[in-house]
Amino acid sequence: MKGLYTALMCSFDEQGNVNEKGLREIVRYNIEVSEVDGLYVNGSTGENFLISTEQKKQIFEIVKDEVGDQVKLIAQVGSLNIEEASDLAKFVTDLGYDAISAVTPFYYKFDFEEIKDYYNTILEGVDTQLIIYSIPALTGVNMNLEQFGELFENEKIIGVKFTAPDFFLLERLRHAFPDKLIYSGFDEMLLSASVLNVDGAIGSTFNVNGKRAKQIFTLAQGGKIDEAREIQKVTNDLIEEILNNGLYQTIKEMLKTQGVNAGFVRKPMKQLTEERAIKARELAKKYL
């Protein structure tokens, strides 16, 4: 399960329906061009929190059907509706996904006992392994070392997708839990996280920048820090432009220049203006 995973985009049509052909093209591009080790399906980048349960299932099915056993698949099933999360966990396990992941429950201020119960409930009666999805900037949920340790006591919880700039906590986690899988979540911090010996990374920009990300990770693992830093610099030039222009929209527009029908974003996200679309195409020309 180690390595680089693309946080997969989904292609939607103008009405917000899943565009099956476009989704299959995004999957193929990631496998054949970006050459990532796996896909993280229905995460933030997949606009998961904007779609229905039926659409989530549709996407899980299409991706598994397109991938087969070519690369590893992690299914993000976390939801504020715990029955939905449990149902999706069973659904993807039956489909043959390699692991599940679940975002920490957000919006309401859940205490740690509630968070722990959420994970244990999702895993009840389902024969799979789970990766915690920790993204405090979006969820407001900050867990400390001891709390991660308590969650990790459940042997089915095999790791964490760590999307935070807290490198002190990341180092402490790595040191305390050498046998758990730690994935870096911020692509602009991949080199720094790799130096701390993470097992892999999961990122949105890998949809278009997967090759550079792989180089950063591999070079860092081999101790070639100067070379890795050069590539992280180019990567961050790109990420800075993408973030300024509109994250998911810009990645979609860049994919379109490569013949991949990445479609539209779902409301309430707004589409790119023509000016920003032109900028995205320029970025594709320069970086892809």
**Residues 276, 282, 284, CA angle at the centre, nearest 5°?**
105
Catalytic residue among 161, 214, 252, 256: 161
- Which is nearest to 187 in space by CA: 210, 160, 220? 210
* Residue 86 counted as an annotated binding residue: no
First to last CA, the chain: 27
Tokens of 41: 């399906």
Q: Which residue is nearest to ligand NGF (CB)?
A: 43
> Which parts of 1-30 interact with ligand NGF (CB under 6 A)?
7
Q: Does 245 bind ligand NGF (CB under 6 A)?
A: no
Tokens matching residue 149: 């340790």
Please tell me whether residue 82 binds ligand NGF under the rule CB under 6 A: no
- Looking at the Cβ atoms of 40 and 91, the one nearer to ligand NGF is 40
Which residue number, 150 or 192, has a Cβ lying nearer to ligand NGF?
192
Task: Give 105's contacts (C-beta < 8 A, 6+ positions apart).
Answer: 78, 80, 114, 115, 118, 139, 141
> Among residues 22, 185, 210, 246, which is the contact residue for ligand NGF, using CB under 6 A?
185
- The span from the CA of 57 to the CA of 55, in Å, is 5
Of 110, 184, 114, nearest in space to 151 by CA: 114
Helix (H) or strand (E) holding 148: helix 145-152
State the catalytic residue, choosing from 40, 133, 183, 248. 133
For 18-49, give one letter per residue: b (16+ CB within 10 A) or e.
bbeebbbbbbebbbebbebbbbbbbbbbbbbb
Q: Which stretch binds ligand NGF (CB under 6 A): 29-37, 148-156, 174-182, 196-204?
A: 196-204
**Is residue 43 at the binding interface for ligand NGF, with CB under 6 A as the rule?**
yes
- Residue 161 falls in the annotated catalytic set: yes
**Interface pick for ligand NGF out of 11, 163, 232, 235 (rule CB under 6 A):** 163
* Tokens of residue 249, six digits: 């929209």
Q: Do residues 165 and 144 lie in contact, with contact meaning Cβ atoms separated by under 8 Å? A: no
Among 202, 219, 228, 262, contact with ligand NGF (rule: CB under 6 A): 202
**Residue of 44, 93, 215, 232 that binds ligand NGF (CB under 6 A):** 44
- Shortest distance in whole angstroms from residue 199 CB to ligand NGF: 15
Q: Tell me the window of 16-24, 182-190, 264-272, 280-288 that interacts with ligand NGF (CB under 6 A).
A: 182-190
Q: Is 118 a catalytic residue?
A: no
| Residues that constitute the known binding site for aceneuramate | 44-45, 163, 185, 187-188, 204
| Interacting residues with ligand NGF (CB under 6 A) | 7, 40, 43-45, 138, 163, 185-188, 202-205, 239, 243, 247
Q: What are the catalytic residues? A: 133, 161
